[in-house]
Amino acid sequence: MAGLELLSDQGYRLDGRRAAELRKVQARMGVFAQADGSAYIEQGNTRALAVVYGPHEVRGSRSKTLHDRAVINCQYSMATFSTAERKRRPHGDRKSSEMSLHLKQTFEAAVLTQLYPRSQIDIYVKILQSDGGNYSACVNAATLALVDAGIPMRDYVCACTAGFVEDTPLADLCHAEESGGGTTLALALLPRSENIALVQMDARLHQDHLDALMEAAMMACKGLSKVLDSVVRQHLQEVSVLTRE
Amino acid sequence: MRETPLSNCERLFLLKAIEEKKRLDGRQAYDYRNIKITFGTDYGCCTVCLGKTRVLAQVSCELVPPKDSRPTEGIMFFNLELSSMASPGFQPSRKQSSELLVTLNRQLERCLRNSKCIDTESLCVVSGEKVWQIRVDVHVLNHDGNLMDAASIAAISALCHFRRPDVAIQGRDITVFSPEERDPVPLSIYHMPICVSFAFFQQGTYLLVDPCEKEELVMDGLLVIAMNKHREICSVQSSGGIMLLKDQVIRCSKIASVKVSEITELINKALENDRQVRKEGGKFGFAESIPKERITALKREQAPVEMKDIEETADEIVREAEAPSEAVHSPVIVATGTGQVGEGLQNTWGLEEEDAEEEFQGGMDGKEKKKGTVCVCVCVCVGCAGFTHETIVQLV
Amino acid sequence: MAVDMRLPTVRKQISLSGSQSTDGKHLVVPGDVITSDTGFMRGHGTYMDDEKLTASVAGEVERVNKLICVRPLKTRFNGEVGDVVVGRITEVQQKRWKVETNSRLDSVLLLSSVNLPGGELRRRSAEDELAMRDYLQEGDLISAEVQSVFSDGALSLHTRSLKYGKLGQGVLVQVSPSLVKRQKTHFHNLPCGASIILGNNGYIWLYPTPGQQDEEAGGYYTSLEPVPLPDREVISRLRNCLLALAAHKVLLYDTSVLYCYESSLSHQMKDILKPEIMDEIVMETRQRLLEQEG
């Protein structure tokens, strides 16, 4: 990709953002009436939809029940129309299985599963449009859906990607920046305690830059958590007004 | 077969030991087990023994048309297999992608492919038509913890060891030379990424490098960092439901860089040894490298065990132990070949009538002295241990 | 037949007038610190994080003397002793049935907690166990009362009264459990010509008022006679009214359902679910309810 520089001399990126600027985030909770919790989020051009069912009795194999905790079951899938080329296998391939596993691990750390022994919480996430930051959009949407379902959590889980170009960390990468061959770090964070629920990085990066990159990702996550916070509070206000009358 | 879960007392014991900075095999927190790298007779075949974990990697190549999106680059394909040989818990009948399999495969792919350790452009033969497809197959032979590290070491060693056939291009004709006609060509490898696994315990308070299988069952979560010796991080992946702090990740990366340089040294040495042996025409391959274990020779590997306070602790135990009870009474002879020592019930060994009477009397005598008598199985032991009658007489 | 189609429109923002929003309601989100005072007891929806009482769900803080808890907006049914529930049989196990009641674990209906047909009072024998499927099968709807709560949160139900038992012909409406008001009785015969069971777990059952009142033994006898058309119309209208009320998060009890039904009489049944007509009807209902209270 000659000539396509990820960071121009004036400090502008491909879509005109600054290095540490996030994409525009819009979210809504309570999208579906029949699910226990649901949420929809748009981060720039990436759109994700999350639905939560539970906690309910473990369906399927009884052997999965844990006697002291709830089982979290995640499924990640991409719509066939979400990428530039039509996807052949929306779920079941290795990348989706890995993503589902990561989502499950992220939320096992954040949800207070000890309160629901022998039950199961299902989280289904679907990417409707993919433009970089799939994992982060999923995590953010699933957090909102869990809050909507009234499932107790330690804190929000916010996720964001970060990259590194010419000694400058970039926050919230889009697809072109991710596939450009540079470093991509995806981070899921609990903002208040600064605990990292999941960290994942591909492509080469010198050890000394790791600190700066993680710091940039954490700042981006914290910014995102403020946006999610305002969405949740708005939703709370609306519903409480309705129930009061 | 379903794996038996770890018992609660084992779990508590392991956690307690880790709190006291002790590991089951005597290692320190940041120590690796013994790594042994051996190569097979063919180029591209490598076995790694990490303690008792054994992993085999094989590299093969094939000429195929390239991907449409990348016509000038070769294709790398990674595959990791878990069979029941490695551990009874791995079943082929379970759904294709079990969690562990998916994790290992993806991590291997991410570590080797995304880090661009191999120059894929050099694998191109005819742009847009024929490129080399390099396939790395990793098989786990024995699972004793830390499959990820072993697999990555095996894969990268096999790739370094591998030689592909030489090709000559004349116009549109491609001639592939067999190894006899022209020496095969090694792959061009930029750097060697190695995965280092860190296991976290007690919500991230304690950290261990290279967990063995039991430690893996007890751990809260795992952090895998792939680095090369130039201190470049190739991939970071945290798994398990643990919470990490940024400082922990930075610290782990520092530890990883030290370990990776050691392991890279080891791989280079092994490669060098193999090259020497092949050049000199000596015997090489697996048959030579597997140690000959004969039943008549009792041999154990040296295991480092900390003996610092052992003597003091042993002395203390001896000191504080109670003195043994009073000396054993002298044996009472009941009949030839039968004696009674100590207290207990009546003798029930089938002795003849007259002996029974004698024995009864002996028993009566015995009862005066002490509560009861028990017949020592001297007679029986005679048979087993090869004592002779003379010996018994001496005992008596 | 012509089908109604609509284009998407911008959603109306709920008006948050000043007096209502700052009405002293303490709304929290997960991770918010409620108080650092250690004198309070920790209730549901909270957890202790380093001596600080933190909320774990998004909702309203409720304080009763020294107990602080957070009630989430939406939650599965948390049963208490004495609640009336409507549930569906999911499994027939040894000596008990598993009933799905929209709670976090399936509820349990023990064989010893049901009335045997014929009203006999005797020890349940092995034949009773084998004949369990003749009483209740998978897929049957029942109304029952919560007898006790197990330690892991599962409910134990009983149908030891004539008014509980298997449900026959009718319509089931599923709403959120928080919308059903707790009352003295949950079984109502509405004057408009139908009967309603308001289950605390959010499952509401509408059925035609039974003719004779002398049914045998707790309703295992389900009549399969065809229900006359006017009754069906009443039930359909009631169902649409319930859905309209649930969409606007109005508390459901016999009075509110009745007022809504009366307001909707001026519209056609199928129009009730259209958004603007729904708004109208619900507003009327709310007004009448306010008048009635005040």
* Alpha carbon distance A166, B270 (integer Å): 37
Residue B367 lies in domain: 332-395
Of residues C20, C73, C76, nearest to A55 (C-beta): C76
- How many structural domains does chain B have? 2
pLDDT in tens, B101-131: 888 999 999 888 888 888 888 888 888 888 8
Domains of chain A, first to last: 25-244 (3.30.230.70)
Residue B373's pLDDT band (cuts 50, 70, 90): very low
Q: B249 and A199: CB-CB below 8 Å?
A: yes
Mean of all residue pLDDT scores within chain B:
79
* Alpha carbon distance A6, B176 (integer Å): 41
**Does residue B317 lie in a domain region?**
no
Q: Answer whether C279 touches A (CB < 8 Å).
A: no
Mutation for testing the A interface, residue in B77, B79, B91, B102 having most A CBs under 10 Å:
B102
Of B389, B341, B303, which Cα lies nearest the Cα of B33? B303
In angstroms, what separates the C-alpha of C258 from chain A's closest C-alpha?
A: 18
Domain endpoint, select from B289, B318, B345: B289
Residue ranges of E strands in chain A = 25-29, 37-43, 46-57, 71-78, 119-129, 158-165, 168-171, 183-190, 195-202, 205-206
How many residues does the structure list for chain C? 294
Please tell me the predicted confidence (pLDDT) of residue B387.
40
In angstroms, what separates the C-alpha of A37 from chain C's closest C-alpha?
A: 8
Mean of all residue pLDDT scores within chain A:
88
B160 and B35 assigned to the same domain: yes
Q: Answer whether A236 touches B (CB < 8 Å).
A: no
Domain endpoint, select from B289, B304, B324: B289
Lowest mean per-residue pLDDT among B77-91, B119-133, C20-34: C20-34
Q: Which residue has the higher pLDDT, B171 or A4?
A: B171
B14 and B153 assigned to the same domain: yes
pLDDT in tens, C162-219: 888 888 889 999 998 989 988 999 999 998 889 999 999 999 999 988 775 555 434 5
pLDDT in tens, A57-105: 998 887 788 888 999 999 999 998 988 888 777 677 888 888 899 999 9
Residue type, A35: A
Please tell me the predicted confidence (pLDDT) of residue A40.
96
B269 and B337 assigned to the same domain: no
User: Using CB atoms and an 8 Å cut-off, which of residues 92-111 of chain C contact chain A?
Assistant: 98, 100, 104-106
Q: C106 and A154: CB-CB below 8 Å?
A: no
Q: A237 and C23: CB-CB below 8 Å?
A: no
Q: C73 and A236: CB-CB below 8 Å?
A: yes
Percentage of chain B modeled with pLDDT above 90 = 25
Of residues A37, A156, A245, nearest to C31 (C-beta): A156
B–A touching, 3+ CB–CB pairs within 8 Å:
yes
CA distances from A84 to A47, A176, A178, B116, B197 (A): 14, 12, 15, 25, 36
Interval A124-141 mean pLDDT: 93
* Alpha carbon distance B247, C106 (integer Å): 44
B212 and B357 assigned to the same domain: no
Whether the pLDDT of residue C36 is over 80: the answer is yes
Mean of all residue pLDDT scores within chain C:
86
Which residue in chain A is spatially nearest to C50 when comparing CA positions?
A193
Please tell me the predicted confidence (pLDDT) of residue B301.
65
Whether the pLDDT of residue C42 is over 80: the answer is yes
Q: Answer whether B233 touches A (CB < 8 Å).
A: yes
Whether the pLDDT of residue A17 is over 70: the answer is yes
Residue B70's pLDDT band (cuts 50, 70, 90): confident
Q: Answer whether B378 touches A (CB < 8 Å).
A: no
Q: A200 and B253: CB-CB below 8 Å?
A: no
Please tell me the predicted confidence (pLDDT) of residue A4.
62
Q: C21 and A241: CB-CB below 8 Å?
A: yes
B145 and B238 assigned to the same domain: yes
Interval B59-88 mean pLDDT: 88
Enumerate the domain spans of chain C.
26-72
Q: What is residue B149's three-state secondary structure?
A: helix
Interval C83-109 mean pLDDT: 92
Task: Identify all chain C residues contacting A236, using CB atoms and an 8 Å cutoff.
Answer: 27, 29, 58-59, 73
Of residues C54, C74, C98, nearest to A150 (C-beta): C74
A126: Cβ–Cβ under 8 A, 6 or more apart, which residues?
A: A48, A49, A50, A76, A77, A78, A79
Q: Which residue has the higher pLDDT, B394 or B69?
A: B69
* Alpha carbon distance C162, A194 (integer Å): 58
Interval B284-297 mean pLDDT: 61
Q: B232 and A204: CB-CB below 8 Å?
A: yes
In angstroms, what separates the C-alpha of A161 from chain B's closest C-alpha?
A: 13
Cα radius of gyration rounded to whole Å, chain B: 32
Interval C34-63 mean pLDDT: 88
Domain endpoint, select from B269, B289, B309: B289
What are the b/e assignments for B16-28, b being 16+ CB within 10 Å? Answer: eebeeeebeeebe
pLDDT in tens, B86-98: 888 787 766 544 8
Of B169, B187, B68, B178, which Cα lies nearest the Cα of B121? B187
Please tell me the predicted confidence (pLDDT) of residue B326.
66
Task: Identify all chain C residues contacting A192, using CB atoms and an 8 Å cutoff.
Answer: 31
Q: C20 and A241: CB-CB below 8 Å?
A: yes
Please tell me the predicted confidence (pLDDT) of residue B193.
92
Task: Identify all chain A residues contacting B110, using CB atoms and an 8 Å cutoff.
Answer: 202
B375 and B265 assigned to the same domain: no
Tokens matching residue B15: 């956690």
B391 and B248 assigned to the same domain: no
Of residues B102, B233, B246, nearest to A101 (C-beta): B102
**Does residue B321 lie in a domain region?**
no
In angstroms, what separates the C-alpha of A239 from chain C's closest C-alpha?
A: 8
**Does residue B161 lie in a domain region?**
yes
Under CATH, which number does the domain C26-72 receive?
2.40.50.100
Please tell me the predicted confidence (pLDDT) of residue B281.
76
CB atoms within 10 A of CB C2: 4
pLDDT in tens, B337-363: 777 776 667 666 665 555 444 444 444
B124 and B35 assigned to the same domain: yes
pLDDT in tens, B232-283: 999 999 988 788 888 889 999 999 999 999 999 999 998 898 888 888 877 6
In angstroms, what separates the C-alpha of C16 from chain A's closest C-alpha?
A: 7
Percentage of chain B modeled with pLDDT above 70 = 76
Please tell me the predicted confidence (pLDDT) of residue C19.
45
Of residues A33, A156, A237, nearest to C30 (C-beta): A156
Look-up of token digits 């052997």: A63
pLDDT in tens, A145-204: 999 999 999 999 999 999 988 888 889 998 888 887 788 899 999 999 889 999 998 878
